[in-house]
Structure formats: structure tokens, C-alpha cells
Amino acid sequence: MLTGIEQLRLGGTPIDGATALDFWRWAFADLRQNALRGVFAEWVVAHVMGIERECRDPWADCDLVTAQGLRIEVKAAAYRQSWHAEGAPPSKIVFSGLHGRRFENGRYIEASTYNADLYIFCLLDNLDPAADPFELERWRFWTLSAGDLGRPTPNSGQRRSITLASVIREGRSVTAAELKGLGAIGRRGPR
């Protein structure tokens, strides 16, 4: 695992200003980017909940697993994206990718399923472009169990996405401090 001090080398000679930390700053500094915000939200939830992980596995069936075996999927969204023009309306919030195919014994299983026990929906309230994603007060969190997500709705037998309005209506709003307490909950989890 990298520490940040590793350097790019040419013929064994380190190149100034070309460390792993420099790469991270170059590649991952704008947390308004959709793909980065999701990874950042996973990291935030893991740290708040006290879930220790040496390194993120982007190919895992779920994002996080507590010491008690609770499998967690983290979904993130924001009102403003890196590509937003000044004065543009905020994005419509929809959380997608709620289930997928599980990888077992070297191959993907055919059926698409909910692969977590608990889903944590994270919304970065960044209507103000200067909003700091490292400020936890800027984030809103909701939890929904896979069982609740899997209940048929008038429009779908098995949801692949959910709107913010549905998350607010069906989920349980939690603060960052309350998320911390979820780290000790076992497989059955909260609503």
C-alpha cells in the first residue's frame, strides 16, 4: 500500500514533484466529481462508523462490512457537480446501482441482487459552491435496509434506483454522530 512519499523515477533517479501524494492531489482533488464523491462518501462513512479497512476494494460486492458482519452499501449524491455552470439549477437527486451481480468462485452469478444488509444514502448539501465536503454538517444521511428497498413499489418489483424524495419518505434520517453508533450493529440492522 502506498504511503504518499513514493516517487516517480527515471533510471532510478527520483523526479521532483512526482510523488504518490502529488498524484493524489492531481487526480483526486475535486470532490465535486461524481465518481470521487462516492468514494469519498464511503471513506467518510467508514471513518465515522469506525470500520477499519486498509484499502478500498472497488470490486467488492458491497462497500463496507462491520466487525459484526453487517454489509453496507454507500450511495452518494450532491446538488452541484464539477461540471455545473454558474447559475445552473441543482441536479435532481437519484441514487442508482442499488443491486448488482455478485462475484463468487471466480465468476459472476447470473441474478442481480441487493448485496448489502444496510444502505446508507449520503447527500452533500453543496448548493453553495464553496461548501466544504470535509465539514460533516454539509452531509445528510439516511439508512434503508435491503428488505425495505426490496419491497415492490407501484412502479417496480425490484428497484434499481431511488429518488431523494423516496429516501426521505421511506428511510431513516441519521446524523453523523448516529452513524457512529451503527458500526456496532449486527446483520439485522436498523430500518
Domain check: are 129 and 64 in the same one?
A: yes
Q: Does 189 map to a domain?
A: no
Q: Does 119 map to a domain?
A: yes
Residue with cell 415492490: 152
- Expressed as residue numbers, the domain containing 108 is 31-182
Q: Does 109 map to a domain?
A: yes
Domain check: are 78 and 36 in the same one?
A: yes
Q: Does 108 map to a domain?
A: yes
Domain check: are 49 and 108 in the same one?
A: yes
- What is the model's pTM? 0.86
Q: How does DSSP assign 139-185, residue by residue?
A: EEEEEEEHHHHHS-BTTBSS-SEEEHHHHHHHSEEE-HHHHHHHTT-
C-alpha cell at position 18: 512526482
Domain check: are 20 and 84 in the same one?
A: no
Instruction: State the maximum Cα–Cα separation within the chain, in Å, rounded to a whole number.
Output: 64
State pLDDT tens for residues 116-169: 999 999 999 998 878 899 999 999 999 999 999 888 777 666 788 999 999 999
Beta-sheet strands, E only, within 92-147: 94-96, 100-104, 107-113, 118-124, 139-145
State pLDDT tens for residues 104-115: 777 777 777 888
Domain check: are 22 and 88 in the same one?
A: no
Domain count along the chain = 2
